Structure 1
Amino acid sequence: MNDVFDHRQVRRAFSRAAGSYSAAAELQREIESRLFESLDYLGDTVPADILDLGSGPGTGALELRRRWPKARVLAIDLALPMLRQLSPKRGWNPLQRPIDRVCADARALPLADESIDLIFSNLCLQWVEDLDALFAGFRRVLRPGGLLLVSTFGPDTLHELRAAFAEADEAAHVSPFATIAEFGDALMRAGFRDPVLDRDVDVHRHRDMAGLMRGLRQLGATNALSSRRRALTGRGRFAAAEAAYGQWRDGDGLLPATWEIITAMAWAPAHGQPIREGGEDVARFPASGIPVRRRRG
């Protein structure tokens, strides 16, 4: 099966955007703050090991360390230049552990089984096409009862830009995004319990399409589809897309850009809870939990 995304291009785009990301990431910071509000569901529980997945320049990792100074906070990102924006001792004090940084792919987490209490991921998962495999990896590294707290984009995201380019070019320019139902179903198939999903829609406005595209490049959110046109978008195609986008211009002369935001919270299953895999129910138990009967000599 061919990948929807060219993951080497995803890495390159976010590596190039490392220096400009923080200044351009207004929406990302807003969504991140909403995720932090959901951490109240942990109550008095203090996670010992925390993963900030797709950490970018590390604003989430820093906040997680501020909340739980004695926890081990691990920041993982696909783009090494993003991780370099986060000094491991930034905001450090003697009561806090430094943040560990690892350059790795969310699809193959280099972590031991049941080694994490909380996975926090803000706007990273939309770059992964196989949600079943992704969530199976999350389930593997989470301890039973561990919390998964994530956000992603839904299919209404940038629908104006998608439609405008569709009138000008046969090649795709905007990524496909999973629906909230598809996201929730994948969580259930992976065995996560008590999932709670929310959907919000934000609309940002821009003077012109060029300004919107420039902002997307600053965030690393460029076209990384495997089926994308490898050559630059010509002036003719861009002008045609820009003209088509004009049908959405509002009374103030601004162009809307819609962002559909899906947030999800779910809990890792206990040992022995059946999980649907390959059409069968599979239950797993730790080897240490299997009683051993010794024969008497």
Structure 2
Amino acid sequence: MPDQRFTIDKRQARLAFSRAAEQYDQVAVLQREIGQRMLDRLALVRLQPEVILDVGAGTGVATAALASRYRKSRILALDFAFPMLLQTRKRGSWLRKPRCICGDLELLPLADQSVDLIYSNAAIQWSNDLDSTFGEFRRVLRPGGLLMFTTFGPDTLKELRAAWAAVDEGSHVSNFIDMHDVGDALLRAGLADPVMDVDRMTLTYERVTGLMRDLKVLGAHNVNSDRQRGLTGKGRIQAMQSAYEMFRTDQGVLPASYEVVYGHAWAPEAGHRSNAPSVSLDQITHSLGHTGKVS
């Protein structure tokens, strides 16, 4: 039986992101930042993809950037929430409109070996089966094709998790898989030369309610299958807010930590492993001067 701590209620997740679509860009500061860092990383990779698949495209911010960078490529934007794709289509910066596909990353509606580059920013944490997801990525990648993705590690929202733990034993915050387990899944899928890196970022808030509001607007609140159903009482919410105060900094703000996991791997060439060069996040942050803090 799957571990319910890491099992997503896909129906609720899809509804949450569908509701979030129109307001998503207003609060997706972190998602845009790590998406841009992944695009910066792509600049160091020699690749001329004919077909690019943006998995978990959301409102199409990265899709548009990919279309601008790879002007001769065919761009596919995939998301499991149809209203997100409507926002993608409305984006006004298109050189040419992408093909939008409403589908799930665990079962891609694409032909075998039909994609040269898979870009996926902050999406695979919504997979219930990483082996199936990476297996699908491997299936649709052409030999020598590149997978580049970000996701979140278990220290993400650790302050919020600790504050709720001081109140009750319920599941209030989404759980995230360890970077090493993600890397193991890449290897099991037969993807070549995987590289995993981690970065730590912090958003800051005046009050916990600001964080909770952002998570709701993002559609990123807890949709784990073992979450508590029904409304959380006002008393417990107030107790959680009081417990969160232990994390208030000397600057008078409340931190919300994010463990950002970056990964890339290659579809092996026919008959042998890819010899494509590996680029680590350390090289990226050194060359571009990123600080690893968003506030």
- What is the match of residue 214 of structure 2? 215
Please report how far the alpha carbon of residue 209 of structure 1 lies from its aligned counterpart in structure 2 after TM superposition. 1.1
User: How far apart in 2 are the matches of 1:206 and 1:91?
Assistant: 31
Please report how far the alpha carbon of residue 170 of structure 1 lies from its aligned counterpart in structure 2 after TM superposition. 2.1
- What is the match of residue 158 of structure 1? 157
AA matched with 2:242: A
Query: What pairs up with 1:46-195 in 2 under 5 angstroms?
Result: 46-87=48-89, 90-93=92-95, 97-195=96-194
My pick for the range that moved more, 114-123 or 65-74, is 65-74
Q: Is the 8 A contact 1:88 1:98 kept in 2?
A: no
Q: Is the 8 A contact 2:76 2:99 kept in 1?
A: yes
What does the per-residue CA deviation read over 1:180-231, in whole Å, with 9 as the maximum and x for residues that have no partner? Answer: 1111111111111111211110111111111110011111111101111111
User: How far apart in 1 are the matches of 2:233 and 2:271?
Assistant: 56
Pairing 1:40–2:8 present: no
- What is the match of residue 288 of structure 1? none
AA matched with 2:26: A
- What is the match of residue 19 of structure 2? 16
User: How far apart in 2 are the matches of 1:180 and 1:89?
Assistant: 33
With the length of structure 1 as denominator, give the TM-score of the two structures: 0.87
- What is the match of residue 256 of structure 2? 257
Pairing 1:28–2:31 present: yes
Please report how far the alpha carbon of residue 273 of structure 1 lies from its aligned counterpart in structure 2 after TM superposition. 4.9
Q: Is the 8 A contact 1:89 1:99 kept in 2?
A: no
Structure 1 portions without partners, runs of 5+: 275-297
Please report how far the alpha carbon of residue 89 of structure 1 lies from its aligned counterpart in structure 2 after TM superposition. 7.7
User: How far apart in 2 are the matches of 1:200 and 1:89?
Assistant: 29
- What is the match of residue 225 of structure 1? 224
Q: Which has the larger radius of gyration?
A: 1
My pick for the range that moved more, 169-178 or 18-27, is 169-178
Q: Is the 8 A contact 1:154 1:178 kept in 2?
A: yes
With the length of structure 2 as denominator, give the TM-score of the two structures: 0.88
User: How far apart in 2 are the matches of 1:6 and 1:214?
Assistant: 21
User: How far apart in 1 are the matches of 2:91 and 2:231?
Assistant: 41
Q: Is the 8 A contact 2:35 2:62 kept in 1?
A: yes
